[in-house]
Structure formats: structure tokens, C-alpha cells
Homo-oligomer: A and B are copies of this chain.
Amino acid sequence: MAHNSAVTERLTQQHGETLEQALAAIRKRDYWSAYPESPSPRVYGEHAAADGEAAFRQRLGEPWGGQTPGAAGVVATERSPYGLELGVRYPRVASDGLDELLEAARRGMGDWRAAGPQARAAVCQEVLARLHARVFELAHAVQHTSGQAFVMAFQAGGTHALDRALEALVYGFDQQTLHPATALWEKPGRGEPVRMDKTFTPVPRGVGLVVGCNTFPTWNSWPGLFASLVCGNAVVVKPHPRAVLPLAMTVEACREVLTEAGFDADLVTLAAEAEGDGLAAELAVRPEVRLVDFTGSNAFGSWLEEHATQATVFTEKAGVNTVIIDSTADFSAMCDNLAFSLALYTGQMCTAPQNLLVPADGFDTDDGHKSYDEVAAGIGAALDRLLGDNKSAVELLGAVVSDAVLARLDAAADGGTGRVLVESRAIEHPAWPQATVRTPLLLGLSVADVQTYG
């Protein structure tokens, strides 16, 4: 197998204009997207939605089509927060398979490095094009692993994630091509100048490990994956056990295009595990692994930073987002806006507001003075307005991603952690009767309760 430059040249041609536009966009930093965010049939065609759903359903209960070197046996770890049993079986990677996996991952790196940034960018762009062609199927996979509502899964898990992947890819491409690949260096001297023909080769770091999360399996994994790949690294993708399918589809697309272009498919591999296997911790400290892109808990993120010292480690850990509420020109609109931000995906996004700081004595608004409790009541009323109709509420709330989140919600509802200001309600999903859907709960805490809000 060797780099088929006829293929990469065709792909370079095909995606050249998009690459140029993406380069211009990162230079100007204005709005630009290559992937329409509306799942409308006017944009994607009449059959796209149905075809995508059918393709998704065809995967259920079946083995994933790809291979992983070093894997032994299979795992099926995904159950939709909407109640659907996915039952997709993936090759299981365990400790004793890591030598084989990482040897395979590195095997193709020589060719991949030698192909240069332009060919690598073209391959990565083609992968994105194929993922885009399957964006409805992907949206279902994201919905039924993360619990996001369908439109959100289509956008945040599909088109917007593609935007971020392309952005990461083009930043990597840009850095590799900022400086010339060759230069004639002539230092004047007595008589003849000292002449050197210089060649510069962007050198990859090694194997990149991408550790996916449950809530945003694509959005949070693709930038690291495609940045590593376009820079010549191999990538091992270790998905969250409850959100494998979106990344399995990604790895599938990568391997497909790599193979077609004559590269080693094992440059991108899927390392699935059973819940509790702790595979990421083992992989992250392997000497072959030189890059780690992680999204997840503070505890494991900090562990990685401390222990994976052989690698460059990027971690996106939990966010604690605070809103200071001490004045407003429109109390009702403010409450509506906060209610929307709290309700969207049941506050499970890392950008969701968590801590709303309100003066103990309240504050004056266009609607008169509002006490602390009245502010809470205002937000509660706004949540009721927003989520009064089950059918539209579920499209905003999505489903609760995991039992752990549900347990935290239940503990708060019991009043043990603070005074419940706005209660959480269970909502019946019109289409998915077994879905776990809840409205946000507002808890009254004081500064001392840092264990709960910190």
C-alpha cells in the first residue's frame, strides 16, 4: 500500500475552494460555515431525513463494520436516554491488546507524514464531506447516545461539529504551510556564498489519543482528531462507553478515505471498552501516545495532566458558569432568556449557566423591586411558559444523559442540598415513552454551600 497521489490530487482539487474559504475565515474571524445547519428538506433534499433514520436503525443490534487491531471480543454499551436499546457491538480493546493497537497505529505514519499537509488536508476534508453526507444518520446517533433533542443533535452534533472540525483542520494546515517547504539559503562570504538547500518537514508528534465524552461525542472530539490527523499523527479514538456510535461512524469514514487514498487505515482506530475498564488511563500514559485530547470530568482531566507527561495534553474539563443578576431593563425578558439557557439540553452543556448570583435583598427592575425569592419565581414562571407543552418542551430539553445526572437531580429535589426554589418535573415524551425527560430544578444556596455549586 502506498499513497495514491491521483486520489489525493483529485480530493485537493475537489475541496480546494472550501479550504481557501476556511483559510480566509480564520484570517478574518467573521461568520462562515460550510455546512448548512437547517435539517430542512429544502436544503438536504426530500429523502435525506428518512434515509438517515433508516441507516441509523439498520445499525442497531448489529456489529459495527470496522476492525480494531489488538481487539478481543466485543462490547455493546449504549442505551439511549430515550429508551432505545442500541445494541451495536464494537471490538473491545483491553490492556493486552494495546501493544498491537499502537504498533498498528504507528505503522502508517511514515507515509502519512511524507504525503505532506496538502494531501492530508484533502483526505481530512473528504472525511468531513462523507460525514456531512450522513449528517441525518449521525444526528440520530448523537441523539440516542447524548440525549440531545434531534435538531440540537443535527446542529451541535452534526453541522456545527463539522464547522469546528474544519476549523481545527485548517488551523493545522495553516501552521504547516505558513513557512516554505524548501528554501535556498545563501550567506554571503568572501568569494562564493555559503549555500544550503533547505527542506522543512512538519513532523508529527506520534499517536494522538482522543477521549470522547457522553454529551458531545462529535463536537468535542472532532477538533482534536482532525487537528492531529492533518498534522501527520495517527489517532486512537477512545469513545465514552455510552456514546460510541457517533465516533465509530467517524472512524469508519476516516478509515474508508485513508484506504481509498492508499494510506494505512489503522492511522485512525476505534478503541471501545466496557464501562469501568479504564482504558483511557492506560492508553494515555503509553510512550507511543504523544497527544491527548480529552473532554470530561475535572478529576480525570487533572489526572491526565499530571500523569500523561510524555504527551501534550489538552483537557476540556467541567465548566462552572455564573450569571450575576443584579439589574435588568426587562425583568420578564431576562427570565425568559435565563429559562431558555437553563432548559436547553436540561442544562447538560458545558456552557449552560449553573450559578445565578442574586443579591440577598433583591434589586429594582422595570417591573418593581424583586426579592431573591421573586427572582426565582420569575424564572420558574418563565420555565413554565417555555416548557408548558410536552411536545415542544422535549425538543428543547432533550433527555437526561445518565443515571448519575438523574441521581444528582433527585438528591437536590429531596431538599438535602438546599432549598428548592423551582421544582423539577418529569415530562412524558410523546414519541419515546421511556425517555428520561426532566425540567430544570432551581436550588437556593448560600455562599457557604460551595460543595454543591463549586
Contact = CB atoms under 8 A, between A and B. Distances in A.
Contacts of A188: 31
Which of under 10, 10 to 19, 20 to 34, or 35 or more describes the interface residues of A? 20 to 34
Interface string A28-39: 111100000000
A29 B309 contact: no
A432 interface: no
B31 A198 contact: no
Contact of A30 (B26, B186, B305): B186
A47 interface: no
Interface of A: 26-31, 174, 178-180, 183-188, 198, 200, 305-306, 309
A31 B306 contact: no
A28 B28 CA distance: 23
A82 to B, nearest CB: 29
A306 B26 CA distance: 35
Contacts of A178: 27, 174, 178
A186 B31 contact: yes
Interface class of chain A by DSSP: mixed
Contacts of A309: 305-306, 309
A186 B29 CA distance: 10
B30 A185 contact: yes
A29 B306 contact: no
Contacts of A180: 27-29
Contacts of A305: 309
A200 B179 CA distance: 24
A30 B198 CA distance: 9
B185 A31 contact: yes
A26 B179 contact: yes
Given A27-B179, A28-B180, A174-B178, 5 more contacts: A28-B183, A29-B179, A29-B180, A31-B187, A305-B309
A229 to B, nearest CB: 22
Contacts of A185: 29-31
A167 to B, nearest CB: 12
A235 to B, nearest CB: 22
B187 A29 contact: no
